Structure 1
Amino acid sequence: MRHLDKHSGFKTPAGYFEKLSGRIMDNIAQDPSTVSQEEGFKVPENYFHNLHSEITQKLEKQDSKVIPIKSFKKYYYTATSIAAILLLFFGLTWNTTKTISYTDLANSDIDQYFENQELSFSTYDLAEILSLGELDYNDVLENSLAEESILEYLNTNVKDLNELNLTNDE
């Protein structure tokens, strides 16, 4: 806070406030014309005696129209709560996606994935991943591969046929 200057230039005479009330009372006593001796307001005769009866007569005469005020708040609250429930229900179910499981994938999709990805799985890695309980030997034995399919597979996947160590008997 900034410093207040006590010397502002205005001065009151010595003892001014101590003598003020006495001077005001002297002025009132000397000049009676300034203070009215009459009362400012007049009440009619018997006003307070008849006041109660006049008020009750006016109240009895007046038949006011009663307009019933219905509270629509409960309807607004009901509509708002229904809208909130619907919004919540559709908001939660709108963007839900079904989780894809292994059974949803087609065999062709799995084959295509392994063909397109360069995974360096060896036969030992695959043997560790696949358990023998999941394999069905009958499916492998019953499905005979056509000779054309085998040759096509070898032409596309094997670069050097000498690596296969095939003999003439095979």
Structure 2
Amino acid sequence: MEEFDKNNPFRTPDGYFDKFSESLRDAVGQEVPKLPNEDGFVLPDGYFENLHSNIQQKLTKDETKVVQLYPFKKYYMAAASIAALFLLVLGFNWNTGQEVSWDDLANADIDTYFENNDFGLTSYELAEEIPVDELVLSDFLNTQLNDEYIIDYLDENIDDFDDLNLEDEE
């Protein structure tokens, strides 16, 4: 066993643990336990007789005035709500002078709109509405289509290949 610190203030008397078991047997073996003769707690005279009246006195005391810790809190909240309302109104009126034009719309948005909405128009009716004046023939000629893209497009959009009216030229 390691040596304890010599500055330790706790010490046991010499031979304490040798005599401990004998003193414990003697204390347990006694027939009359060693109990104190006096009570540990004493009540004041007439405590239970005056208990009800004491409680009633404490209940009927006037309430003390409550002092608010943050008396200006409601003013701060009102000022913050007015500022938020002002910013909200200002934000709605900020961009009213700018009008939306067709140039602002992305082509993908227009395509998505036409795909999701059914107008009941045939492809011929749509072709009549498209302005041909702005189209350039080179836009169609310069586009190179890959055979894989064409086959994928036909697989996705054509249910029956007989509708294509393909003839064998061999």
Identify the TM-score tier after normalising by the shorter chain: 0.3 to 0.5
Q: Which has the higher contact order (CA 8 A, sep 6+)?
A: 1
Considering fraction of residues, name the structure with more helix: 1
Structure of greater Rg? 1
